[in-house]
Amino acid sequence: MSTPETATATTSVAEPVEARVAHHRRYLMCKPTHFTVDYKINPWMEPTTPTDTAKAVAQWQKLHDLYLELGHEVELIEPLPGYPDMVYTANGGFTIDGRAYVPEFFYEQRQGESPAFADWFRANGFDTVMPKEINEGEGDFLLAGDVILAGTGFRSVGDSHREVREVFDREVVTLTLVDPRFYHLDTALTVLDPVVEEGQTAGIAYLPNAFDEASQQILQERFPDAILVADEDGAVFGLNSASDGRNVIISPRATGFEKQLRERGYNPIMVDLSELLLGGGGIKCCTLELRGA
């Protein structure tokens, strides 16, 4: 039985944060064997800046090995020579319940990746749907609970939002990106809870300034408890992270976001992909979720 004194004592200490549960994940990754920056399709890419492929591979390997240590499964797709951006497998498709929606890249430089991803999905038992509309896979489509959050403004076009709705028969919420540094949705928003109970809202974090006002409004209404990330953490690709519901893999530069995650009971783990950032990609870009099949 608690006396008034003990009640006072308990309320004076910080509330214990609920225990977060890690959910087993299956990911598709691609070793950056052919990584370089020899064209520019986003503001991060500078073809005159030298890249170090061995360093890119070593950094990528750490992320890969960490996923295995956390108990996740990692599938690999063979890197194609001449496609230095193939390491960013998040753009290789979008999967739910064993169905894969294949990307149609906006820039010609990446268009040759699509058939390779389509072949991989077919060979691995996915019901593989070829797109008609320009879309860049999980770069722009993120599953939050039952809802597909869909980015547009730089890469995936609005018509792909209709197409993705038809393919998966799920509600699709369009969000418009306005800052060219954050050209894919996964550079501006991260889903922290990959699995939620029915009727529950997934935890998310986002960079408000990356979105137009109407989209900020939608995010506020739908995700009132979201973590709002500061511009300085966004600018170092802090939101380009992968979460299993408990462990959140983030850039070591996103120190403010790290703190916010701890306060909410998540376990941030820092992985440095500085070399891959030269291509405009980070942790999430190198990680495609495989759901079902």
Residues forming the active site: 184, 285
CA–CA distance, 291 with 293 (Å, rounded to integer): 7
What would the x/- binding string for ligand ARG be over residues 102 to 131, using CB under 6 A?
Answer: --------x---------------------
The answer to whether residue 142 forms part of the interface with ligand ARG (CB under 6 A) is no
Select the residue interacting with ligand ARG from 187, 215, 251, 260 (CB under 6 A).
Answer: 187
> Number of C-alpha atoms within 13 angstroms, CB side, residue 165?
12
CB of 28 to ligand ARG, least distance (A): 13
Is 281 a binder of ligand ARG (CB under 6 A)? yes
Q: Binding of ligand ARG at residue 92 (CB under 6 A)?
A: no
Considering the complex, state which of residue 30 and residue 96 has its C-beta at the smaller distance from ligand ARG: 30
- DSSP states along 219-247: HHHH-TTPEEPPHHHHTTTTT--EESSSE
Q: How far is CA 83 from CA 37, 99, 202, in A?
A: 10, 25, 34
Note whether 32 binds ligand ARG by CB under 6 A: no
**Spatial CB neighbours of 234, under 8 Å, sequence gap ≥ 6:** 182, 188, 207, 209, 210
Q: Is 156 in the site for ligand ARG (CB under 6 A)?
A: no
Binding of ligand ARG at residue 280 (CB under 6 A)? yes
Of the candidate spans 120-128, 179-187, 206-214, 248-256, the one that interacts with ligand ARG by CB under 6 A turns out to be 179-187
Comparison of 113 and 244: residue with beta carbon closer to ligand ARG? 113
- Biggest distance spanned by C-alpha atoms of the chain: 71
Cα separation of 15 and 131, whole Å? 48
Using the rule CB under 6 A, is 241 a contact of ligand ARG?
no
Least CB distance from residue 62 to ligand ARG, whole Å?
A: 18
The torsion defined by the Cα of 273, 278, 281 and 286, in degrees rounded to 10, comes to -50
Q: Alpha-carbon distance 116 to 103, whole Å?
A: 11
On whether the CB atoms of residues 205 and 226 are closer than 8 A, the answer is yes
How far from chain centre, in Å, is Cα 1? Answer: 47
Q: Residues in contact with ligand ARG, total (CB under 6 A)?
A: 16
If one asks whether residue 85 binds ligand ARG (CB under 6 A), the answer comes out as yes
User: Which part of the chain contacts ligand ARG (CB under 6 A), choosing from 13-21, 27-35, 168-176, 279-287?
Assistant: 279-287
Among 184, 194, 202, 244, binds ligand ARG (CB under 6 A): 184
Give the residues lining the site for ligand ARG (CB under 6 A).
Answer: 41-42, 45, 85, 88, 90-91, 110, 139, 184, 186-187, 279-281, 285
